[in-house]
């Protein structure tokens, strides 16, 4: 059975091939790109209105019908492209539009810039100012792709959202839960940035590239389709930091220079002057601007005292942390204490071949969406499980024990000390190939 799907297209090769695979299956496909930055942020300008009855009639849809951006019936001058290594530029939109045209599917741009500024950029600024180190790509996936775009898909009558992420989704009958699984390509696996997905979102999401073990095969498919972006490099930088450092961006965004303060050792002895807390992160040694008899590293950032605490490297290691805003997806013993996910256990399955999904025998074909939220039944306080934990995107997983605390926070105890655990970063838990859950590190404990 074929279905209607909304495909998030970044202008890169992955989302383009994902779109081609869905078209090949015979699904009714709508391509879209999210407009996340205002003109002053260096993306593209203006407010848009959708001009097609097949897409949403809201004021934040832009119909890209030519090489210019047409907004409210008029063509607007396109600003110069920004950082070539960042996503979300006008060139990316043009590449996505070109692919959609070649595939013969409608394509729209949805203006989510206001929400992106509030939920991603401003949160990025707040966490840095409070001494943490954020991951805005996780927030973009959580609040933009799988909240705003999820709702737009529902408004358009689509059965699922499709993205080019390297991950897989599977329904487990025993627990009645949807699982988020690692990609078959371990080098490209993106489950770390997807840990916040709810059961409802997993039930209405398709990752066509999850089963492909080789990125080269994806690029070869793009070449065969004649896509303009078949050899386009992957985006690497944060899209809204177009130039300069993160600290420069924060000062421009807030209109305030970060106040200088003191570098101190663990005993409070002043070692020198720092240039603003936002210029430092846990574990940093380079760029301190100090002449010291032995190497020292950033151990802690204290926004109350406006101090950066420095320590020898061996003092950077710790075994325990507390994570908040935790989202549980699945554990191997879920059925022993929890309950099936109820309505969210049904899923639109439009045929799994080539889509990186495993079927629930079509049990949710045509099922209505529920409002996005957390994953339903949560583990009770005192629940513990053995997992491997990943405290940074590029970090190696390490064995640990997770324990649910009163109020829903989770304590993670690593079996071996870990270097530079950092507040503001995501901690993602795995059991085998499945994501158990994840949250935001709010406290690193010593002892």
Binned at pLDDT 50, 70 and 90, residue 244 comes out as: confident
Q: What DSSP string runs through 9-75? A: --SSHHHHHHHHHHHHHT-EEEEEEEE---GGGTS--S------TTS--STTEEE--SSSEEETTEE
What distance in Å separates the CA atoms of residue 298 and residue 289, rounded to the nearest whole number?
Answer: 13
Query: What is the pLDDT at residue 243?
Result: 80
Query: What is the pLDDT at residue 89?
Result: 72
- Cα 5 off chain centre by: 20
Query: What is the pLDDT at residue 372?
Result: 43
Query: Looking at residues 217-222, what average pLDDT do you find?
Result: 96
Examine the pLDDT at 2 and tell me if it is beyond 70: yes
Contact 28, 75 (CB under 8 A): no
Of the candidates 50, 137, 158, 239, the residue annotated as catalytic is 239
Contact 29, 103 (CB under 8 A): yes
pLDDT in tens, 71-118: 222 222 223 334 444 555 788 899 999 999 999 999 999 999 999 999
Of the candidates 56, 140, 158, 385, the residue annotated as catalytic is 140
Examine the pLDDT at 41 and tell me if it is beyond 90: no
What distance in Å separates the CA atoms of residue 22 and residue 164, rounded to the nearest whole number?
Answer: 11
Written as six digits, the tokens of 241 are 């930091």
pLDDT in tens, 379-407: 999 999 999 999 999 999 999 999 999 99
* 180, 206, 338 from 170: Cα distances, Å: 7, 10, 18
pLDDT in tens, 50-77: 222 233 333 344 333 232 232 222 222 2
Query: Cβ–Cβ contacts within 10 Å for residue 130, how many?
Result: 15
Dihedral of the alpha carbons of 45, 46, 48, 51, in degrees to the nearest 10: -80
Catalytic annotation present for 87: no
Query: Looking at residues 205-218, what average pLDDT do you find?
Result: 97
Better pLDDT: 233 or 114: 114
Domains and their CATH numbers in the chain: 4-241+339-358 (3.40.50.620), 257-316 (2.30.30.280), 319-337+376-445 (2.40.30.10)
Query: Cβ–Cβ contacts within 10 Å for residue 199, how many?
Result: 26
Highest mean pLDDT among 301-310, 346-355, 373-382: 301-310
Catalytic annotation present for 140: yes
SS3 345: helix
**Phi/psi of residue 83, nearest 5 degrees:** -55, 120
pLDDT in tens, 135-193: 999 999 999 999 999 999 999 999 999 999 999 999 999 999 999 999 999 999 999 99
Query: Cβ–Cβ contacts within 10 Å for residue 12, how many?
Result: 21
Query: What is the pLDDT at residue 42?
Result: 36
Query: Looking at residues 7-18, what average pLDDT do you find?
Result: 96
- How much of the chain, in percent, has pLDDT values that exceed 90? 73
């Amino acid at each position: 059975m074929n279905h209607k799907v909304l495909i998030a297209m970044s202008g890169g090769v992955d989302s383009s091939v994902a779109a081609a695979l869905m078209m090949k299956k015979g699904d009714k496909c709508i391509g879209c790109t999210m407009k996340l930055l205002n003109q002053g942020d260096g993306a593209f300008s203006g407010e848009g209105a959708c001009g097609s009855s097949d897409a949403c009639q809201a004021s934040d849809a832009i119909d890209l019908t030519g090489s210019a951006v047409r907004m409210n019936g008029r063509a607007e001058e396109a600003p110069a492209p920004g950082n070539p290594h960042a996503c979300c530029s006008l060139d990316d939109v043009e590449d996505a539009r070109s692919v959609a045209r070649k595939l013969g599917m409608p394509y729209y741009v949805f203006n989510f810039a206001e929400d992106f500024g509030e939920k991603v950029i401003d949160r990025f600024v707040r966490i840095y100012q409070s001494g943490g180190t954020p991951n805005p790509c996780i927030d973009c996936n959580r609040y933009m792709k799988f909240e705003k775009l999820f709702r737009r898909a529902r408004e358009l009558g689509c059965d699922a959202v499709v993205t080019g992420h390297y991950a897989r989704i599977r329904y487990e009958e025993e627990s009645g839960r949807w699982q988020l699984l690692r990609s078959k390509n371990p080098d490209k696996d993106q489950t770390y940035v997807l840990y916040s997905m709810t059961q409802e979102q997993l039930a209405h999401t398709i990752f066509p590239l999850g089963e492909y073990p080789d990125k080269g095969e994806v690029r070869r498919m793009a070449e065969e389709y004649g896509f303009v972006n078949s050899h386009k490099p992957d985006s690497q930088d944060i899209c809204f930091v177009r130039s300069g450092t993160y600290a420069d961006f924060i000062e421009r965004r807030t209109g305030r220079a970060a106040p200088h303060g003191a570098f101190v050792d663990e005993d409070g002895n002043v070692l020198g002057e720092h240039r603003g807390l936002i210029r430092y992160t846990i574990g940093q040694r380079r760029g301190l601007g100090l002449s010291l008899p032995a190497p020292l590293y950033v151990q802690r950032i204290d926004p109350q005292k406006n101090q950066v605490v420095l320590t020898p490297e061996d003092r950077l290691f710790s075994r325990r942390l507390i994570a908040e805003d935790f989202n549980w997806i699945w554990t191997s013993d879920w059925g022993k204490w929890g309950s099936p996910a109820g309505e969210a256990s049904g899923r639109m399955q439009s045929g799994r071949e080539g889509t990186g999904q495993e079927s629930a025998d079509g049990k949710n074909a045509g099922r209505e969406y529920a409002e996005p939220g957390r994953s339903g039944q949560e583990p009770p306080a005192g629940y513990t499980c053995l997992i491997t934990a990943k405290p940074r995107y590029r970090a190696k997983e390490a064995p640990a024990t997770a324990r649910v605390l009163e109020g829903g926070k989770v304590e993670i105890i690593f079996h071996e000390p870990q270097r530079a655990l950092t507040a503001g970063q995501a901690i993602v838990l795995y059991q085998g190939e499945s994501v158990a859950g994840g949250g935001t590190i709010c406290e690193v404990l010593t002892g």
